[in-house]
Each structure stands twice: as C-alpha cells, then as structure tokens.
Amino acid sequence: MRTSDLSEFYKKPLEERLQALKEFAELGDEEIEKLRKFGALEFETANRMIENVVSTFQLPLGIATNFIVNGKEYLIPFAIEEPSVVAAASNAAKLCRASGGFKAESDEPIMIGQILLVNAKEPEKAAEEIMRNKQELVGKASACDAMLVKFGGGARDLETRVVDSIRGKLIIVHLLVDVRDAMGANAVNTMCEALAPELEGIAGAGAKARMRIISNLAIYRKARAKAIWKKEELEKSVKGNMKGEEVVDAMLDAYAFADADPFRCTTHNKGIMNGIDAVAIACGQDFRALEAGAHSFAAISGTYKPLTRYNKNENGDLVGEIELPMAVGLVGGAVKTHPIAQIAVKILGVKSASELACVLASAGLAQNFAAMRALTTEGIQRGHMKLHAKNIAVLAGAKGNEIDIVAQKIAEEHCVKADRAKEILEEIRKRSGE
C-alpha cells in the first residue's frame, strides 16, 4: 500500500530517497535520471540548505542589460521562467539612459523584531513600564550579537503598542535593529528571544511572551528609485502613429487606473515584483519576504495602492518613481551558500546590501514601466506571445531548428496554440521527408 509516511527520510542517502520516490510516484528511469542532475548546486550543498533533498529545480538565468543606477553601469541577473520579462526590463533601462538612468537610494538597514505579550493585568501600564526600561533593554539586545555591533549594527530602539484583539488586549513590542549588510532575520529573532523573559518580568505577574519574530513589513528599511523617460525616446520606441506626448498621457492613464482600482493595482504590483523577485532569486535573497513586505506596504494606508507613481515633468517627459520595503542582504543565507547566487552577485558587482536594494528597486520600476508601455501601446501579448511561442513549439514536439520555425509561424498567425504548432510541425517534417 502506498504511503507518505517515510520514517527518517532525511537520514537516507540520495539513492534511497530517489528509490522511495520512484516507487511512490511510479517514476520511470529517465525521470529519475533527470532528478539526479543537480547542476552547479551539488547534492551535499543542497542537502544542507533544506530537508529531504532529492534534486534541484532550475530556472533560466538571464541578464538584463542597459541599466545605469546612480551613474554606475550594471548587468543584472534575472532568474525567472516567464517570457518577455528580461527583454522588457532591458528595453525600459535602455529608454531612460538618455536621461541618466535610475537614481536610487535606500534607508538605513533597520529591521523590526516583534514580541507579543499577553495576559498582562494592566496592559497600558505595562507598556509604559517597558518604555521606561527602554535603554537597558536595547543594551541587552545588542549584547546578544557582539559581531553585529562590531560592524556598526545592533539594537537601536524600542516601541510599544497596545491593541485590541479577539483575544483581548495585546502588548506588541517592536525592537528596532540595525542589521548592516544582512537581511537580519537570525540576528533579530535571537535578540527578541533574549528579551522575552525580561519583558515578561516588567509586564508583571501572568504576562506571557507568546511570540518572538522578525516582521517582513520593513517600513524603516525602504528603497526608492526614480527615472525619467523622455517623450522623444518614447515616441521612437512605439511602432505606430502615437506621438511621444500621447504615450506619456497613456501611461498616466494606466497609472490612474491602478491607483483607482484594486483589481488592476494587484496586477500592476505583480509586474513590479516580476523584476524584483527575478533579481532576488538570482542573488539568493528571501523573495517571499520581499513579496510579503511589498504587498503589505501597498495596503498600509488601508487601501491597496500602486508601489510606483508616475507624473509628467515641465518638459512633458514621463517621470516614474518607486518606494517599497527592501530587506536584502549579502551576509549569510543562500547568498553565501548557493554557488550560482555567488556568481550572480559578482556579475552584479554590488558591495553592500544598500546598493543591492537600489538595484532591486530600479529593476522593479523598469519592469513596471515596460509592462505599462506595452499595455498602452501595442498590447502586452505581442512581445509576450512571441517569446511564449517557443515554449508552445517545444510542447508540440519541435526540436532544434524546428522550434524557431514553428514559433515564428504561430506568432505571425497570432495563433500560439499547441494544436496549431503540431500541424505546422507535421507540415515541416513532411516537406523534409521525415
């Protein structure tokens, strides 16, 4: 009888894990061989990164070109499976080179650690007492990480809130920590755990610290980027009769749509994260934390809003800006263990977490601009489906040169479908006598 109860699966060598998987899922020998191909991330490294490893999952790694950020030239690695993203970001960066590229900045790397206190008899008084002991508590938190302090980081401040909940009043303590070039989760969580007993004592009899964890809504660690797309460049980039002024106005209408409607805004922000996540994955960052922080920040006003803003300057050019939380790091985590992430960071050439944050914000703005320009001019599917056509050609069974021939044909016919690709492939093979 088939069962998922595999006792001590994590202790088994790779071959035994693969054999168990083969039996459970009825995998063929060819499928098992594909799982054995670990690539640059060999089994021993992967097995230390997560549990129960049986293989690695590879994504295409592309390079977005043309980027200038704060006067520095960048080639930006993108790890992503979605067609047109790399090309779109590269084109967006090219179109703003005439105005100097992207200007970006990031805040100090302050992360928030949260400690939840429950069952305090007088929550408001307990919160006040905690704040009276703030300096001592901050000092004890910093003492947990001498190495971080050595590099200029450490606990910086303490905040308290008392909130009503379905379980009664909760005391929420925020520990603000400068994590320097780290993402910061481990350092912050360690400090929060160390402070928990101290806070329980201050809050009084019965008070209990239920949770001690970093927050991914990094409102004190935001990154911002700005770019100007000249109307003359926009006019040259559009195939058709649209003037530069028309393209600018169309982009502003698209921004107004996202600002007014949460259904459009969700997709608007998803496009931003297409760029940010792709770079984050390539560079070994916690892209899930970035996603959570970005979307939470988009709704922090109480209404879900775009992470970018657009306006027209005095010359009639389009000005785009972005601001969002950006918790990234170059110390610890996958960025130091994944061999491809290390190479990606080297290609990028960033020397600090702050510089990486600026690049990510610029990539997000570029991708958002590119999507909006496509939507308001030739339509999003033109470029996307042209690239997607190759995937459909492969799905239809095309190989080698057949892929490009089939892809081009179905793209020209505006019929990017597997059944049509198969028909064209059969015609090609009949003509070649196969």
Catalytic residue numbers, as ranges:
82, 270, 286, 384
In DSSP notation, 358-402 reads HHHHHHHHHHHHHHHHHHHTT-HHHHHHHHHHHHHHHHTT--THH
> How many other CB atoms sit within 10 Å of the CB of residue 152?
9
CA angle at 267 for the pair 266 and 269, rounded to the nearest 5°: 70
Specify whether the CB–CB gap between 52 and 33 falls below 8 A. no
Phi-psi map region of 6: left, alpha, beta (phi>0 left; psi -120 to 50 alpha): beta
Order of strands, sheet of 168-178, starting from the edge strand that comes earlier in the sequence: 154-165, 168-178, 110-118, 208-215
Specify whether the CB–CB gap between 274 and 80 falls below 8 A. yes
Residue keyed to tokens 């984050």: 280
- Could you tell me which of 131, 107, 130 has the C-alpha nearest to residue 179? 107
Sign of CA dihedral 59, 64, 68, 73: positive
Fill in the DSSP letter of residue 142. Answer: H
Tally the residues of the chain. 434
> How many other CB atoms sit within 10 Å of the CB of residue 352?
15
- What lies within 8 Å, CB to CB, of 192 at 6+ separation is 113, 114, 115, 141, 175, 212, 213, 214
- Could you tell me which of 221, 224, 199, 216 has the C-alpha nearest to residue 153? 221
- CA–CA separation, 204 and 127 (whole Å): 11
